[in-house]
Amino acid sequence: MKFIYQEKPIVVDILEDDTIETIRYALHVLLDSDVYLFGKKYVSYTSKQVYDRLIPTFGTIPMFHLRNFFLCFNQAPPSLSKKEYTLEDLDEFTFEGWMDIPIGQTIPCAANPAKVENIQEYEHVPLDLDFRSLLLDYFPLLDDTIYVCTRLPLPLYFQPSTVSKPDFSKVFALDAPEPSAEGITRVVCRLEPADPIVVPLDTLFQRLHVSKDMKMIQYHPGKEENILYKLYTVEEDLHGQKIPVLPIQEVMKHGQSYKHTVTVFYEDAKFAFHENGSILLECSSKQLRTVDEIDALFHKYDVVKEVAAFLYTSGYIYPTFETIRKTTIVDMTYKIEFMVKKIKPHSCTSLFFIDIGPSFRYRRVSNFYEGELIQEICVSDYLAKRNPASTIKKIKELFHLTQEQATKVVEEAYQSIASLEAENKRILVQHKVGFPTTITKSATDLSIQIDKIPSLHYLPCLNRNMKAYIALLTVPNTITCHEEVAVLTKQPVRKRYEEEEEEKEEKLDIEYDDEALDVEYEGGGKDRDLIVNNPNFTIYRMEKSNHAYDGYTRDCPLTRRPIALLTKEEVKRSQKFPQYVYDKVPYICPMYWDLEEKTPLTQEEVDVLVKQGKRIIHPSTKGEIDPVRDGSIFKMNDGSHPFPGPLKDRGVCCFKKEYLPKKETRAIVESKQYINTHPTSLGEEGKVSYLSKPLRSFFQLSEDCQLEPNNYLLRYGVAAPHTFLQCIEACWNVSYPGKFTHATFLSTLLKVAHKKFSVLQNANLLRHYESFEAFEREFRKEKMDYTELWDIVSETMSVNLVIIRVPDQIHVEFICPVKKIDKEHKLMLMLFEQTIHGNVCFEPIIEHNIGQNKHTVIYPYYHNKLQGAFDQIISIYAQCTVQSEQFQTNLIASLIYAHLPKGATQVVHSHKCIGFSVEDVFIPCYPSAPLAIPIVPMPRSSYDHTLFVLNHFADKIPCRPVYKIVDGMLQGILTETNAFVPCKPEPDHSALPLYPFKVNHEYEPLSMQKDKERIDNQLLAKAEHYLYASFRRTLKEKMRTPALRKQLNAAISKKKVTTALLETFLPVQWVNSIPVDFTKEIVRCKGHCSVSDKFLLPRFHLKTGEPNRYFERLANELNHYSRYSTFVVKPQLRMEHIPFFVEAQELILVHSMVEEYYRDLTEPKRIASSYDTANVDVQVKVYFKVKKIDYIII
Using one digit for the tens of pLDDT, what is the confidence trace for 1071-1098? 888 888 888 877 777 665 644 455 678 8
Question: Averaged over 931-952, what is the pLDDT?
Answer: 93
- What's the rounded Cα separation, in Å, for the pair 971 and 958? 21
- What's the rounded Cα separation, in Å, for the pair 1118 and 1128? 8
Q: What is the pLDDT of residue 62?
A: 92
Which residues share a beta bridge with 739?
none
Closest-CA residue to 953 (of 921, 979, 992) = 921
Question: Averaged over 184-195, what is the pLDDT?
Answer: 89
Confidence of residue 487 (pLDDT cuts 50, 70, 90): very low
Q: What is the pLDDT of residue 418?
A: 82
- What's the rounded Cα separation, in Å, for the pair 829 and 861? 10
Please give the span between the terminal C-alpha atoms of the chain, in angstroms, as a whole number. Answer: 83
Residue 216 pLDDT exceeds 90 = yes
Q: Chain-centre distance of CA 1072, in angstroms?
A: 50
- What's the rounded Cα separation, in Å, for the pair 606 and 592? 8
Helix (H, G, I), strand (E, B) or coil at 1164: strand
The Cβ-side half-sphere exposure at 153, using a 13 Å CA radius, reads 1
- What's the rounded Cα separation, in Å, for the pair 444 and 448? 14
DSSP assignment of 218-266 equals EEE-SSGGG-EEEEEEEEEBTTS-EEESS-HHHHS-TT-S-TTEEEEE-
769 in Cβ contact with 778 (< 8 Å): yes
Question: Distances in Å between the alpha carbon of 531 and those of 424, 644, 765, 814?
Answer: 12, 22, 65, 58
In which order are the strands placed within the sheet that holds 585-588?
563-564, 585-588, 579-582
Which residues share a beta bridge with 829?
801, 858
Q: What is the pLDDT of residue 261?
A: 93
Q: What is the pTM of this model?
A: 0.51
Using one digit for the tens of pLDDT, what is the confidence trace for 1106-1129? 888 888 888 888 888 766 666 666
Average pLDDT, the chain: 82
Question: Averaged over 954-962, what is the pLDDT?
Answer: 91
Q: Looking at per-residue confidence, does 283 or 1132 come out higher?
A: 283
Q: What is the pLDDT of residue 386?
A: 84
Question: Distances in Å between the alpha carbon of 251 and those of 232, 1045, 1150, 1157?
Answer: 11, 47, 11, 12
Closest-CA residue to 1092 (of 1041, 1047, 1030) = 1030
Percent of the chain, pLDDT > 70?
86
Residue 106 pLDDT exceeds 60 = yes
354 in Cβ contact with 463 (< 8 Å): no
694 in Cβ contact with 814 (< 8 Å): no
* Residue 245 dihedral angles phi and psi, to the nearest 5°: -75, -25
Question: Averaged over 140-158, what is the pLDDT?
Answer: 84
- What's the rounded Cα separation, in Å, for the pair 462 and 434? 13
Considering the segment(s) 676-877 as one domain, its CATH architecture is: Alpha-Beta Complex (3.90)
Q: What is the pLDDT of residue 1127?
A: 61
Q: Looking at per-residue confidence, does 672 or 862 come out higher?
A: 862
- What's the rounded Cα separation, in Å, for the pair 638 and 1082? 70
| Residue ranges per structural domain of the chain | 2-165, 166-184+334-368+434-482, 193-318, 377-426+487-497+506-515, 528-549+557-646, 676-877, 893-986, 1014-1129
Kindly report which listed range (312-316, 1067-1071, 1150-1154) carries the lowest average pLDDT score: 312-316
The Cα angle at residue 212 between residues 211 and 213, in degrees rounded to 5: 90
Confidence of residue 514 (pLDDT cuts 50, 70, 90): very low
Helix (H, G, I), strand (E, B) or coil at 1134: coil
Using one digit for the tens of pLDDT, what is the confidence trace for 645-658? 988 767 889 988 88
Using one digit for the tens of pLDDT, what is the confidence trace for 591-608? 999 988 899 999 889 988
Q: What is the pLDDT of residue 1080?
A: 82
Confidence of residue 1009 (pLDDT cuts 50, 70, 90): low
Q: What is the pLDDT of residue 229?
A: 93
Question: Distances in Å between the alpha carbon of 978 and those of 886, 926, 961, 981, 991?
Answer: 9, 11, 10, 10, 19
Q: What is the pLDDT of residue 313?
A: 66
Confidence of residue 528 (pLDDT cuts 50, 70, 90): confident
Percent of the chain, pLDDT > 90?
23
Confidence of residue 88 (pLDDT cuts 50, 70, 90): confident
- What's the rounded Cα separation, in Å, for the pair 328 and 306? 22
- What's the rounded Cα separation, in Å, for the pair 756 and 795? 10
- H or E segment and range at residue 802: strand 799-805
| Maximal CA-CA distance, the chain | 118
Confidence of residue 1186 (pLDDT cuts 50, 70, 90): very low
CB neighbour burial string for 514-531, b if at least 16 within 10 angstroms, e if fewer: ebbbeeebeeebeebebb
Q: What is the pLDDT of residue 975?
A: 92
Residue 244 pLDDT exceeds 60 = yes
* Residue 537 dihedral angles phi and psi, to the nearest 5°: -60, -25
Closest-CA residue to 791 (of 242, 327, 1171, 536) = 1171
Residues 6+ apart with CB under 8 A from 955: none
- What's the rounded Cα separation, in Å, for the pair 384 and 548? 11
Size of the chain, expressed as the number of residues it contains: 1194
Q: Where are the alpha helices (DSSP H) in 5-126?
A: 20-31, 47-58, 63-70, 87-90
Q: What is the pLDDT of residue 517?
A: 32
Residue 501 pLDDT exceeds 60 = no
Q: Where are the beta strands (DSSP E) in 637-692?
A: 643-646, 652-655, 675-676, 688-689
Using one digit for the tens of pLDDT, what is the confidence trace for 713-724? 888 989 888 899
Classify residue 1068 as left (phi > 0), alpha (psi -120 to 50) or beta. beta
Confidence of residue 164 (pLDDT cuts 50, 70, 90): low
Q: What's the burial of 67, exposed, middle or buried (CB within 10 Å: 0-12/13-18/19+)?
A: middle
Confidence of residue 667 (pLDDT cuts 50, 70, 90): very low
Residue 496 pLDDT exceeds 50 = no
Residue 1070 pLDDT exceeds 70 = yes
- What's the rounded Cα separation, in Å, for the pair 750 and 112? 72
Question: Averaged over 447-471, what is the pLDDT?
Answer: 93
**Preceding amide of 535 cis, omega within 30:** yes
Q: Chain-centre distance of CA 49, in angstroms?
A: 34
Q: How many CB atoms lie within 10 A of CB 984?
A: 14
Using one digit for the tens of pLDDT, what is the confidence trace for 400-430? 888 888 898 888 888 888 877 777 777 776 6
Residue 1168 pLDDT exceeds 70 = no
Residue 515 pLDDT exceeds 50 = no
Provide the Cα torsion 341, 347, 351, 353; round to 10°.
Answer: 60
Q: What is the pLDDT of residue 461?
A: 93
- What's the rounded Cα separation, in Å, for the pair 444 and 340? 5
Closest-CA residue to 356 (of 282, 419, 421, 435) = 435
Question: Averaged over 1009-1037, what is the pLDDT?
Answer: 80
Q: Where are the beta strands (DSSP E) in 806-928?
A: 813-814, 827-836, 839-849, 854-856, 858-859, 905-909, 912-918, 921-928
Confidence of residue 1004 (pLDDT cuts 50, 70, 90): low
Using one digit for the tens of pLDDT, what is the confidence trace for 311-351? 776 666 778 899 999 999 999 999 999 998 888 888 888 88
* Residue 786 dihedral angles phi and psi, to the nearest 5°: -70, -20
1039 in Cβ contact with 1046 (< 8 Å): no
- β-pairing, 652-655 vs 643-646, is antiparallel
Question: Averaged over 629-651, what is the pLDDT?
Answer: 86
- What's the rounded Cα separation, in Å, for the pair 892 and 761? 12
Confidence of residue 960 (pLDDT cuts 50, 70, 90): very high
Q: How does DSSP classify residue 495?
A: B
Q: What's the burial of 540, exposed, middle or buried (CB within 10 Å: 0-12/13-18/19+)?
A: buried
Question: Averaged over 562-576, what is the pLDDT?
Answer: 88
Q: Looking at per-residue confidence, does 460 or 1166 come out higher?
A: 460
